[in-house]
Amino acid sequence: MQLRQTWRWFGPGDPVSLPYIRQTGAQGIVTALHHIPHGEVWPVAEIKRRQAEVAAGGLSWDVVESVTVHEAIKTRTGPFQEYIDGYKQTLRNLAACGLRIVTYNFMPVNDWTRTDLHYAMPDGSLALYFDWTDLAVFDLYLLKRKGAESTYPEAVRREAEARYRQYTPAELEGLAGIVMFGIPGEKKQTLEGMRARLATYDDIDHHALRENLKYFLQEIAPVAEEVGIRLAIHPDDPPFDILGLPRIASRAADFDFILSATTSPANGVCFCTGSLGANAENDLPGMVRRIGSRIHFVHLRNVKRDPQGNFFEDDHLAGDVDMYAVMKEILRIQQGLSEPIPFRPDHGHQMMDDLGKTTNPGYSCIGRMRGLAELRGLELGICRSEGW
């Protein structure tokens, strides 16, 4: 059995339309109700409306990405229990509409983080890039986070100071917007807002955040199991502590903890090769074997690292992730399951006719279509050679 090919769509405002997505070869859609504020219950009527929009485009809504975890739950402060109860109700409502996989993450304050959304590749396409020095410029000179100096090596601090002096006000404003970009279709952060949110984590270290995640999982996993939903936690992106915040879904040991927090079969992982591949210490094929059938959803993306830990998003079959080995291990797991594991080509270069268009960073059409085509070919070749 092969995997199920899906495509992320950010709703009616997405520049990539459903009719175009049908032409890519994708079988299903990965989406969410981004217009509903974090923490509010997703009404059945809104879920069904989105399902109808997707169905009208000739596709099916296969995976929810994401039901965002409210910051009060992550910090276990304020009305966090009310937000957990609301999350449970959203799971029940999604299940009542036939949705069975829900992705989420437990990254504090910031979601995925990059420092350049238009990194020029040798072939003229544009990629996403993460640079520690530019992050330090943002952190030290724009965010002005207390104690940030101790976060970075001296060489990075020196280079950050030099860049800060060279960057124009427009370039600095652009850098801040990129670091705080967040999820397309959702409210953008401000420096003042980020400072306030960072302050809520002053007394939360790795241990405390892990315990908060454990509590959350022990609360929601029984409900998910009861209604037939599989949960899939997305790894930290990038898989390192940033901006003074702890990251707790970055390494094999992190996922051992997460999966042991509750042994419910509903408690699973969204295996993202791009996020995990940014850390050279991660053995991705080994992690796939370790997590096994509790991989409920897969993001396939490649990255190229440098010795300083900076990275850019490479072609799907290039970069430092051994995509052949990862795909083979995932397909090995797939053969023991009765339903296909959904995967999507995660991100893609802005290229060809998409250059110059307004696109969601990482989510232009042609680059992802190229990635999907390459991944489908790799998958078919492995299955044929293994007799699957």
Could you list the active site residues?
Answer: 234, 272, 299, 346-347, 363
Rounded distance between C-alpha atoms, residue 177 and residue 182, angstroms: 9
Rounded distance between C-alpha atoms, residue 299 and residue 334, angstroms: 15
Q: Provide the CA 67 distance to its chain's centre, in angstroms.
A: 12
Say if residues 58 and 18 touch (Cβ distance below 8 Å): yes
The 8-class DSSP code of residue 16 comes to: S
Contacts for 142-151: CB closer than 8 Å, 24+ residues apart: 142/172, 142/175, 142/176, 142/191, 143/176, 143/191, 143/194, 143/195, 143/243, 145/195, 145/198, 145/243, 145/244, 147/244, 148/243, 148/244, 151/243, 151/244
Say if residues 28 and 59 touch (Cβ distance below 8 Å): yes
Say if residues 364 and 357 touch (Cβ distance below 8 Å): yes
Q: Provide the CA 330 distance to its chain's centre, in angstroms.
A: 18
Alpha-helical regions (H) of 125-205: 132-137, 154-166, 169-179, 191-199
Token pair of 290, please?
Answer: 């370790």
